Amino acid sequence: MTVPGTTSPSSPLLRIADLHVDYKLPGWRTTPLRAVDGVDLTLAEGETLGVVGESGSGKSTIGRALLGLAPVTSGSIELAGHDITHTKAGDRKHIASDLQVVFQDPYGSLNPSRTVGKTLAEPLEAVAGADGSTALAEIRGLLSKVRLPDDAVDRYPNAFSGGQRQRIAIARAMAVNPKLIVCDEAISALDVVTQAQVLNLLRDLQRDTGVAFLFIAHNLPVVSYFSDRVLVLYRGRVMESGPAATIHARPAHPYSQALRAAVPVPDVAAQRVLRRQRQAVVRATTAQARPAPEQGCPFAPRCPHAAEVCWTTRPADTPFEDRVVACHVFDAASGHPQAGGAPDLVAGELAPTAP
C-alpha cells in the first residue's frame, strides 16, 4: 500500500530530527514536562532499531509522537519521505498502511468485547477497504502466520493467554503489510519463554515481509539481541547510539554502563567490573543532592565521572568507534578533567572523577 516512488535507497524509511515533546501538566501555570529533548534517529527499511532506557526516559513518547498520539513541540518526523510531524491521530488513515503498533499490555491491547476475528478485520476494513469474505480469508492466513488456530476467529480475547494475545496484536499490526511497526514493550509483560517465542515470530515475519521495527524496551540485553542498532535514552535525550552488539558488549556512555551493570552476567571477571560500576553509580547518586541541570548532562547527578563542566554544558554528540556518545569524557575539547580517558572508561577502568 505504499505510494510509489516515495522511497529511494538514499532516504531512510523513518527520519526523526531534533524531536521535542512537552507534556502539559494539569494545573494552572505549571511548566510543561519535557519528555523528549532533541532526539535524532533514522531507521532503514527492514531494519530494527532498539530504544532502551529506564522507566520515564521517554521511550514510549518517541513512539507515540511517531504515531500521532503525543504533542510534538518541535522537530520533524518523516515517514517514507512524508512529513507526518503534525498529522493528528484521526487523519492517519493513509499512514496506517505503512505504520502499525503493538503495545505492551496484552490485556488492554485487545477490545474485550470483540471477537478476535472482528479485531483483526478492523484494520483490513478500515485501511485496506476489504469486504467481509476476503477479510475472513486473510484473517485465517494471519492467524496461521502468528501460529494460532483457525477457531480463534470466533473467540473473545479473554480466552487467550498473554502470549497468544500479543500474537493476535501482532497479527493485527501485520494485517495491512506495514513498512514499520512500533513495538512498545511488546514483550515486556510476558514470561521469558514466551518472550523468546514472540521475538522469534517477529524475526520470522521481518524476514518474510521486510518490515522494520522500532523496538522499545527497558531491558538492554533483549533489545540488543533483537535489534540491529540501539539508542540509549535518558531523560528524553540520546546518550549513546550504535550497533546493538557493541553497545551490549562494551557500553561506552556511563549511563549505558549503568544500564548494563544492572544485568547479571556469568563471567566472574566481568561480574567484578559490573559490581564496581554499580557501586560507583550508587555512591555518586547518594553523594549528589543536586537535581539534574537544565543545561549540562542530565546524568550528572548519578555519574561517577561528573565534573563541573558536566553541570554547565550540554555534551556534544561525539563519534566514538562505531557509535555516537553524548559525554564530555569522549570529547577531547570539552574541558572535562578526564577527557581523553575514553578507552579506560569503556573498559571500566576509569577511576571516579574527584569532586
Partner 1 sequence: MTRYVLRRLAVAVPLVLVVATISFFLVQLVPGSPAAAILGPTATQDQVDALERSLGLDAPATTQFVDWLTGAAHGDLGRSYVTGQPVSDALSQALAPTLSLAVLSTLLTLGLGLVMGMAAAVRGGRTDKAVQWVGSLGMAIPNFWLAALLVFVLAIELPLFPATGYAELATEGLGPWLSHLVLPVLALSAVNLGQIAFQARAAFADALGRDYVRTLQATGTPRRRVLFKHVLRNASVPVVTVTGLTFIFTLGGVVILELIFNLPGLGNLMLRSVQTNDFSVVQGGVLYFSLAVILVNLVVDVATASLDPRVRVR
From candidates 174, 175, 183, 303, binder to ligand SF4 by CB under 6 A: 303
- CA atoms within 13 Å, Cβ hemisphere of 156: 6
Which residue's Cβ lies closest to ligand ATP? 60
User: Does 61 contact ligand ATP by CB under 6 A?
Assistant: yes
- Chain-centroid distance of CA 134 in Å reads 34
What part of residues 2-21 is at the interface with partner 1 (CB under 8 A)? none
Check residue 152 and report its DSSP letter.
G
Per CB under 6 A, 328 contacts ligand SF4: yes
State the nearest-atom distance from the C-beta of 302 to ligand SF4, in Å.
Answer: 8
Residues 346/257, Cβ–Cβ less than 8 Å:
no
| Contact partner, 306, from partner 1, Mg ion, ligand SF4, none, Cβ < 5-8 Å per class | ligand SF4
48-52 and 212-217 strand pairing: parallel
Interacting span for partner 1 (CB under 8 A) from 36-44, 64-72, 217-225, 327-335: 64-72
Q: How far is the CB of 58 from ligand SF4 (least distance, A)?
A: 17
Distance (Å, whole) CA 347 – CA 354: 19
| 79 within 8 A of 99, measured Cβ to Cβ | yes
* Residues contacting partner 1: total by CB under 8 A: 34
204 backbone dihedrals φ, ψ, rounded to 5°: -60, -45
CB of 303 to ligand SF4, least distance (A): 3
Q: How far apart are CA 280 and CA 246, in angstroms?
A: 22
The 3-state DSSP class for residue 336 equals coil
Q: Which stretch binds ligand ATP (CB under 6 A): 12-20, 53-61, 219-227, 340-348?
A: 53-61
Position among 67, 214, 310, 324 found at the interface with ligand SF4 (CB under 6 A) = 310
Among 48, 60, 194, 277, binds ligand ATP (CB under 6 A): 60
What is the three-class DSSP state of 173? helix
Among 57, 100, 119, 318, binds ligand ATP (CB under 6 A): 57
Which residue reads 549503568 in cell numbers? 258
Q: Pick from ligand ATP, Mg ion, ligand SF4, none: which does 297 bind, CB < 5 to 8 A by kind?
A: ligand SF4
Select from Mg ion, ligand ATP, ligand SF4, none the partner in contact with residue 55, using the beta carbon and a kind-dependent cut-off of 5 to 8 Å: ligand ATP
Contacts of 164 (CB under 8 A, 6+ apart): 148, 152
Length of the chain counted residue by residue: 355
Q: How far is the CB of 95 from partner 1 (least distance, A)?
A: 6
Residues in 227-256 that interact with ligand SF4 by CB under 6 A = 254
Cβ atoms within 10 A of the Cβ of 244, count?
A: 21
Spatial distance between the Cα atoms of 217 and 214, rounded to a whole number of angstroms: 10
Taking CB under 6 A as the rule, does residue 226 contact ligand SF4?
no
**Which of 10, 31, 113, 133 is the binder for partner 1 (CB under 8 A)?**
113
Rounded Cα distance between 36 and 24, Å, is 13
Report the alpha-carbon angle 120-126-41, nearest 5: 85
Minimum CB distance to ligand SF4, residue 174 (Å) = 39
Q: Is residue 291 helix, strand or coil? A: coil
Binding site for partner 1 (CB under 8 A): 67-69, 89-96, 99-101, 103-105, 108-114, 119, 122-123, 126-127, 156, 158-159, 169, 172
Binding site for ligand SF4 (CB under 6 A): 254, 297, 299-300, 303, 305-306, 310, 315, 327-329
Binding site for Mg ion (CB under 5 A): 60
